[in-house]
Structure 1
């Protein structure tokens, strides 16, 4: 039990620290793809996926890890991924982003985290048993893309690496913008850890390595998976309500570690501030958390479970879930940002 607690907390704290310092926000990244035509954060995600994919399948081939992708619940993945994408825009952050921004002191993220936790737990209760059974029945035989194509997984990994490398090199060759920065207040390691702006690609590489580390650490406790946010988040509330220790697993301490690591990073970098939001933002955060909990539960994963881990495992659930998640983000972004801006421009032109 002690090993599980320490292992989960340490892995989660590393992830929370890196994501907070690197400002690794998939919600903003997916939104920028549509609004600003900026794909840098998406390319960073591909780096994290690639690093994890190579490492995990190497460990599987060596017999260190065991993994079965199972069936592909296509209907839940499509609908749930889209709903989750809507939710993370309204909540102001994805599942992991909500955890680490709560560690920075954002009250809106605390509210989104609570409604996300609540709905994730509800979706795992008897109240949603009928819906879950129906979604589970709408599945194909193979979730693994390699199994569907009846080929080795390594050509697919090679294709992923080539595409990722091409996009990253193309992005790095773009002219750099001159951004004004304040003179450093710290020197040496303290400056690098707590003050210097981290490049998204460097951050993504660290996240990929942490995601890889999570697999053997998690499997050592009997949990046969890597990083995951939604189920562990629901497990916290289930444990608090039922008091049953079966809900305490490696994933629970992982998400608690994310909060801890983010808090440490925010305090050390002087970015921690308790910030309350206005009524409109508060209500939007709460509704976003509800959509996140419902969507991630239906899809079988969030931006980490599907968008980072299941994509690295080269599954249909991961990649199709990621596509519909992004489509959900773009749809919500149109309603929240693009449409109001267009209305404002039309009103200004007519005045």
Structure 2
């Protein structure tokens, strides 16, 4: 009797779950995308381009399940470092592109691209609070926006927290600027290590982190 019950359960689990017809939803989404692009084009073609870029990035995030929270959480909880290594590669690509923009601008006599913020205890405090918050909520900014579109109610609550924190931060910015920002020093790596040292040093550090992440995931297989 038990064998019959087990075989029945296995057979039911193996049966494919029929998928619902999503054609109507797909057509509605396409109409919204095209309609939004047409409306935005009235203000300039650049707005439509940004619109499509945003949608494309959203699709990439949704399909790849890319999330900064998961890249830091998964190595500890599951041992997987797939997203961790993807994040490191993204940092490396951004390092090359941003350094090229900065260096070319300075060669032309322009101003430094980007904002070099002061480093102090406020960075450590803010990072700790943000890290705790994103683990509890289950997502960072990109992961929260992506999961909102998938219907996760918890992420809508997280967005409210993002907005509330941003408002409080804007209100209290003056106090933080007086007590922390102005008393902290801004560190620009090319000024400390030179352009070559800063650029190749950062790439070397990212490469080392990539090796460690790979070892962490496959250490049990050796």
Which TM bucket (shorter chain)? 0.5 to 0.7
Change (3 A) 1:39 1:159: same
Change (3 A) 1:39 1:172: closer
What RMSD over aligned residues (CA atoms) do the two structures have, in Å? 3.1
How far apart in 2 are the matches of 1:170 and 1:34? Answer: 13
Partner of 1:72: 118
Could you tell me which of 49, 53, 56 is aligned with 1:11? 53
- Indicate if the aligned counterparts of 1:25 and 1:97 stay in contact, CA closer than 8 A: yes
Tell whether 2:128 aligns with 1:53. no
How far apart in 2 are the matches of 1:171 and 1:14? Answer: 32
How far apart in 2 are the matches of 1:27 and 1:121? Answer: 23
Tell whether 2:73 aligns with 1:31. yes
Partner of 1:146: 190
Secondary structure of the corresponding residue to residue 62 of structure 1 = helix
How far apart in 2 are the matches of 1:3 and 1:138? Answer: 44
- Indicate if the aligned counterparts of 2:79 and 2:216 stay in contact, CA closer than 8 A: no
Bigger-Rg structure (1/2): 2
Deviations along 1:42-97, one digit per CA (max 9) or x if unpaired, are 22210111112112222333339951442423222110000000000111111111
Higher relative contact order (CA 8 A, sep 6+): 1
Secondary structure of the corresponding residue to residue 126 of structure 2 = helix
Runs of 4+ with deviation above 4 angstroms? 167-176
Partner of 2:161: 115
How far apart in 2 are the matches of 1:128 and 1:89? Answer: 25
**Normalised TM-score (structure 2):** 0.65
- Indicate if the aligned counterparts of 1:29 and 1:41 stay in contact, CA closer than 8 A: yes
How far apart in 1 are the matches of 2:120 and 2:128? Answer: 12
1:161 deviation in Å? 5.6
How far apart in 2 are the matches of 1:70 and 1:128? Answer: 17
How far apart in 1 are the matches of 2:122 and 2:153? Answer: 31
Q: Point out where structure 1 has 5 or more consecutive residues left out of the alignment.
A: 177-351
1:175 deviation in Å? 9.6
How far apart in 2 are the matches of 1:161 and 1:131? Answer: 31
- Indicate if the aligned counterparts of 1:70 and 1:141 stay in contact, CA closer than 8 A: yes
How far apart in 1 are the matches of 2:155 and 2:144? Answer: 5
How far apart in 1 are the matches of 2:81 and 2:210? Answer: 14
How far apart in 1 are the matches of 2:71 and 2:117? Answer: 30
Instruction: Compare the two structures and name the one with the higher helix fraction.
Output: 2
Aligned residue-pair number: 174
Q: Point out where structure 2 has 5 or more consecutive residues left out of the alignment.
A: 1-42
**Normalised TM-score (structure 1):** 0.43
